Amino acid sequence: MEATIITLPGDGIGVEVVSEGIKVLSVVADIFGHTFAFEEHLIGGRAIDKTGSPLPPATLQACQTADAVLLGAVGGPKWSDPGASVRPEQGLLRLRKGLQLYANLRPIRVYSMLKDASPLRSERLEGVDLIVVRELTGGIYFGERQEATDAVPKAFDTMAYSADEVARIARTAFELAEQRRGKVTSVDKANVLAVSRLWRRIVTEVAQDYPNVALDHMLVDAAAMHLLRRPADFDVLVTGNMFGDILTDEASMLAGSMGMLASASIGDTTSGVYEPIHGSAPDIAGKGVANPLATILSVALLLRLSLNLPQEADAVESAVVASLSAGYRTPDIAGAPGTQTLHRIGTTEMGDRVVAALQASA
């Protein structure tokens, strides 16, 4: 097939990991006989430096007509002055909103060979396989807000959801659950927030259409606890924008590192934005040690969900497993020395290992 893929490396380690993602996509194209055209555009801090805007119109336009978008990360100390009116993160939020990518899928898989990398005891990690469905274009991220000023030292952000917004993300979650273990946990704060009471009512209504899926509701504070206490019990976790942001950073520790978690942001069309859940990691940017696997696993999601190439997606995921099984580790997943001989490698070498595994299996 032919596909146009927009690449948005962004800032910090985003640049390093996206280039490994492109490397993997190019090899997939070679092996399976596809033609992928890559077009790089600006987003985030470097876009502010070059154009004044964190999401230049040319970037949004290119993404609107592309088959898929591969994104690195945005942000960094250079642009994080709290008084700044233009911020790199606005670029990402406007992109999600502009493309109407209301569903952010964040699968959390625990690779058995990485159990030592997790701060949790390995028996807790047995059987963990969950996916967080985070609402991405509404909630407190996009509600009415007011910044504080010297004259008025008070600020607010508003968390709002309409019934329709809740219903469509709930459907995404139930449909996924039907293909998985048939369980949805909806996470809210219904004991305090009006918006969560609406959320709970609508999710319960939508559940009627999915008789084969079991639904339970959980308060977000309890969910934060249960994710560590009994993570294997979760199948599909559906929640609002901010709770999903927080819980997925927490859940990444099950997988051992933020560097392992991929994500897909999708809407009603086949195109989507694929990105690692980690940020721009200014502390390690430019050092060549960032873990590219979250991006490479995002590439697998891109192949499966936007390009409808499940075999290619499986091949990429298997190549990641093969590289980990052979003991290759970036520093974030090297963990405590165990019985296995580990090879500590950097970003580009990890990309090379995945590519070699792909070629070996072709």
- Enumerate binding residues for ligand IPM (CB under 6 A): 75, 89, 92, 245, 277, 279
**Nearest approach, Cβ of residue 188 and ligand IPM (Å):** 18
Pairing of strands 129-135, 145-146: unpaired
For residue 157, indicate whether it is catalytic.
Answer: no
Q: How far from the centroid of its chain's Cα atoms is residue 201's Cα?
A: 27
**Among 30, 129, 157, 249, the one annotated catalytic:** 249
**Nearest approach, Cβ of residue 263 and ligand IPM (Å):** 7
For residue 249, indicate whether it is catalytic.
Answer: yes
Of 10 and 351, nearer to Mg ion (C-beta) is: 10
For residue 67, indicate whether it is catalytic.
Answer: no
Compute the CA torsion angle 230, 232, 238, 241 (nearest 10 deg): 70
By CB under 5 A, name the one of 135, 235, 245, 332 that touches Mg ion. Answer: 245
Of 48 and 207, nearer to ligand IPM (C-beta) is: 48
Q: Return the structure tokens found at 66.
A: 């592309």
Closest C-alpha among 277, 260, 274, 278 to residue 306 = 274
What distance in Å separates the CA atoms of residue 253 and residue 261, rounded to the nearest whole number? 10
First-to-last alpha carbon distance for the chain, in angstroms, is 18
**Nearest approach, Cβ of residue 75 and ligand IPM (Å):** 6
On whether the CB atoms of residues 104 and 264 are closer than 8 A, the answer is: yes
Among ligand IPM, Mg ion, none, what binds residue 92 when CB lies within 5 to 8 Å by partner kind? ligand IPM
Quick one: which segment of 14-22, 240-248, 282-290, 314-322 binds Mg ion (CB under 5 A)?
240-248
**Nearest approach, Cβ of residue 53 and Mg ion (Å):** 22
Closest C-alpha among 194, 184, 196, 249 to residue 220 = 196
The one-character DSSP state at 276 is E
For residue 245, indicate whether it is catalytic.
Answer: yes
Residues recognised as catalytic? 141, 189, 221, 245, 249
Provide the binding-site residues for Mg ion, judged by CB under 5 A: 245
